[in-house]
Amino acid sequence: MAISYNERERVFRLDTPRTTYLIGLADEAGFPAHIYYGRRIPDDDMRYLLDAPDTPYGSSREQVSFLGRLPSEYPGSGRGDFREPCLRAETAEGYGACCLTYVSHRIFGGKPPLEGLPATYGGAEDCATLELVCRDEDMGLEAHLYYTAFERLDAVCRSAKLVNVGAGPLRLTQALSACLDMDGQDMDVITLHGRWASERMIQRRPLAWGKQGAGSQRGISSHEANPFIALAEHTATQSRGMVYAMNFVYSGNFLAQAEMGQEGRVRLIMGIHPAGFGWRLAPGEAFQTPEAVLVCSDAGLGGMSRTFHDLYRQHLVRGPYKDKPRPSLVNNWEATYFDFDTEKLLAIARVAAEAGVEMLVMDDGWFGRRDSDTCSLGDWTVNERKLPGGLPYLVGEVNKLGMKFGIWMEPEMVSPDSELYRAHPDYALQIPGRAPALSRGQLVLDMSRREVRDHVYEQIRRVLSSANIEYVKWDMNRPLTDAASPALGPDRQGELAHRYMLGVYELQERLLRDFPHILLENCSAGGGRFDPGMLYYSPQIWTSDNTEAIDRLKIQEGTALVYPLSSMGAHVAACPSHTNGRVTPFATRGLVSLPGCFGYELDLTKLSDGERAMIPGQLADYKNYGWVFRTGDYYRLASYGENGTHDALMAVSKDRRVAVLDYVQVLSRRTERTLLLHPEGLDEGRYYRRLDTGDIRSGAGWMYGGVPMPRLEGDFAGCLVVLEAADH
């Protein structure tokens, strides 16, 4: 088993294939303390690394500095540790000091689910779990700290269940999921920042004194930040160096922070953002934190990325599309916006079917009186003025063409100009006596309330039951504001944001339970909720509303730093770009979209004959090589975000027989020197044929000698290079 306990040393050991994580019980009191996380080591006696005072805590005159120095696994507050805590709690009298000590533990195979929350999963053959029970006796608060170590992946997953074991009520004001105290010398902090249409931009900066990181208080993981943070050795590259990363399996408010303290130690923490958070625990009640995924890589950022990708593909994504190819599709949004009817959609579908596209997705505008974004959210009934015969007729006609049918919905929102809002204005999040703030002309439904969720779901269920719908794009286009609920008492309003998220998770779980055949794709005004929590319900997420190919290079690179290529919705969009007006070749737009979940976001009936003729070839590439991107190992060979001129990624099949290199020349090169790209992940002793030239070389030859890129004319050009195993 990957987890063991050395009773003599009082040390817990978690082993993955290449890493070791050690936890010790410090002092006679048994404070859970961090000892080591890094490359795998065989030694049992590593307790000497535990940096704690020798003087027993109970008899020390410096108890405050003892806790302030201790590398804690789950630090409390108010007792001497003045760094960011994982846990803050108050008694009914308002007293807030808390500190946890060991009570008991158990080690078992497999991984328990987290009630109501998304989480990674695995059986006894995949992983083992440590449940470390700690308590603050004076406060009557117990913490069950869960650690799961995976047998074949270098990942450790952490969460905490906080239980009121006392006689009076408690109030949690901070309940994070994980803490990692470690040496912080010569480290960089890596986060993913952004905004709408420019999500998940990679930011790397030297770790400095104080606090740095990322967070969201928008009720969603957000465009502006992503629930990911990493510490990397200053010299770490894509292929070498130590990297320590955390990713949060949650889709709401979060805090991801690195704090460099006075002694040069860094505290890395992750969890629900404490701003505005409060959770009342009556005696016997428990609060479960979401899960944080920890990855340690000694193979640089690339090793970190591949671990996250494998973990999420194998132990987070669920359903029939976990391992199946995703259908190619055409979405009518940039083709028509709200101006469409049945015949216009079928005209697009006919061209798509002739070219080999597998699905038509009808986007916003099919319901209520929805001819603009000013009305009808919440009224999920078909507008038969646009769609005579409703969904049964339209879907039937699309199916006759040999295509699947998908539909767009935004279930969490309501328009003030809607039948739902006129009947139930109280269903929207709002503070009594204050007019709620609009965003995109809409309000947010109170998903913390059962009656609201039931009303919304019944409408969804009727729509999805009315025709052969095989795909749903679930959108969410604004942050949470006026976040209050009449269903919660005055002392429980701090629970609203988390209860909202639990309600959304429950809705999506109901949809998957009742319609298990449906491919669900999440979206939030583009990439505003691209996180592991959403991946638990939908195997793919719309990456960004910015579909322009050159901008997408940076967006998709930042996304792939953590999330598998199979999770990224990526479409060939209209040109000039509706986002920035840039003109890029149709072929290059196809190359940029190929590594993701491939589709088209334009009016196929308006393409030139030359562009339309390219579609079968693009679809053939997606069919022939999409599986390599979807299931293989990802390598970043060149970064347009770093070099400003070109971009290249490679995927290598797990059996290392096929490698696909996707290259984009952003700016033309005024040089005679041939650009060489150096693949990774090939079998050195195997020979590979380059399909476009017929050249055959060993894996070592291609990797160390390099793959020459063809000379391409002009800006925004690209090519696909495929290496296949060959007999020699």
Are the C-beta atoms of residues 408 and 542 closer than 8 Å to each other? no
**Active site includes 341?**
no
Q: What is the pLDDT of residues 467-499, one digit of tens each?
A: 999 999 999 999 999 999 999 999 999 999 999
pLDDT band at 92 (very low <50, low <70, confident <90, very high): very high
Structure-token match 């010569």, residue found:
186
- Per the domain annotation, does 190 fall within a domain? yes
Query: What's the one-letter identity of residue 279?
Result: W
Q: Which residue has the higher pLDDT, 56 or 535?
A: 535
Where does 37-131 have alpha helices with state H?
A: 63-69
Q: What is the pLDDT of residues 389-401, one digit of tens each?
A: 999 999 999 999 9
- Per the domain annotation, does 76 fall within a domain? yes
Of residues 101, 128, 77, the one with CA closest to residue 267: 77
pLDDT at 65: 84
Among 315, 342, 363, which residue terminates a domain? Answer: 315
Q: What is the pLDDT of residues 215-251, one digit of tens each?
A: 999 999 999 999 999 999 999 999 999 999 999 999 9
CB atoms within 10 A of CB 37: 18
pLDDT at 728 over 70: no
pLDDT at 63: 85
pLDDT at 184 over 90: no
Q: What is the pLDDT of residues 635-680, one digit of tens each?
A: 999 999 999 999 999 999 999 999 999 999 999 977 768 999 999 9
- Per-residue CA distances from 582 to 200, 574, 626 (Å): 21, 10, 27
CB atoms within 10 A of CB 216: 25
The enclosing domain of 55 has a CATH number of 2.70.98.60
Quote helix, strand, coil % in the chain, to nearest 5. Answer: 25, 35, 45
pLDDT at 12 over 70: yes
**Which of 475, 531, 551, 647 does the annotation list as catalytic?**
475
Q: What is the pLDDT of residues 313-371, one digit of tens each?
A: 999 999 999 999 999 999 999 999 999 999 999 999 999 999 999 999 999 999 999 99
> What domain range is 274 assigned to?
3-315
Q: What is the pLDDT of residues 120-173, one digit of tens each?
A: 999 999 999 999 999 999 999 999 999 999 999 999 999 999 999 999 999 999
- Per the domain annotation, does 40 fall within a domain? yes
Q: Structure tokens of 14?
A: 């978690």
- 401-405 average pLDDT score: 98
CB atoms within 10 A of CB 402: 11
**Active site includes 603?**
no
pLDDT at 554: 98
- Per the domain annotation, does 158 fall within a domain? yes
Among 257, 289, 315, which residue terminates a domain? Answer: 315
Contact residues for 439 (Cβ-Cβ < 8 A; gap 6+): 477, 478, 479, 481
Is the bond preceding 290 in cis, omega lying within 30 degrees of 0? no
Q: What are phi and psi of 181, to 5 degrees?
A: -95, 125
Q: Parallel, antiparallel, or unpaired: how do β-strands 279-281 and 170-183 relate? A: antiparallel
- Per-residue CA distances from 344 to 347, 348, 369, 571, 604 (Å): 5, 7, 18, 20, 11
Overall domain count for the chain: 2
The enclosing domain of 654 has a CATH number of 2.60.40.1180
pLDDT at 3 over 80: yes
> How is 309-369 classified by DSSP, letter by letter?
HHHHHHHT--STTSSSPPPPEEE-HHHHTT---HHHHHHHHHHHHHHT--EEEE-S-SBTT
pLDDT at 356: 98
- Per the domain annotation, does 594 fall within a domain? no
- Per-residue CA distances from 493 to 107, 445, 453, 593 (Å): 37, 16, 19, 43
pLDDT at 1: 73
pLDDT at 101: 97
Among 282, 315, 348, which residue terminates a domain? Answer: 315
Which secondary structure element, helix H or strand E, spans residue 591, and what is its range?
Answer: helix 586-593
- 529-553 average pLDDT score: 98
pLDDT band at 30 (very low <50, low <70, confident <90, very high): very high
Q: Structure tokens of 598?
A: 């491939």
pLDDT at 53 over 80: no
Task: Report the C-alpha gap between 636 and 238 in whole angstroms.
Answer: 7
The pTM of the full predicted model, rounded to 2 decimals, is 0.98
**Which of 363, 446, 545, 551 does the annotation list as catalytic?**
545
Task: Report the C-alpha gap between 176 and 271 in whole angstroms.
Answer: 4
Q: Hey, is 464 helix, strand or coil?
A: helix
Q: What is the DSSP letter of 716?
A: S
- Per the domain annotation, does 134 fall within a domain? yes
Q: What is the pLDDT of residues 186-210, one digit of tens each?
A: 999 999 999 999 999 999 999 999 9
- Per the domain annotation, does 526 fall within a domain? no
Task: Report the C-alpha gap between 43 and 4 in whole angstroms.
Answer: 13
- Per the domain annotation, does 358 fall within a domain? no
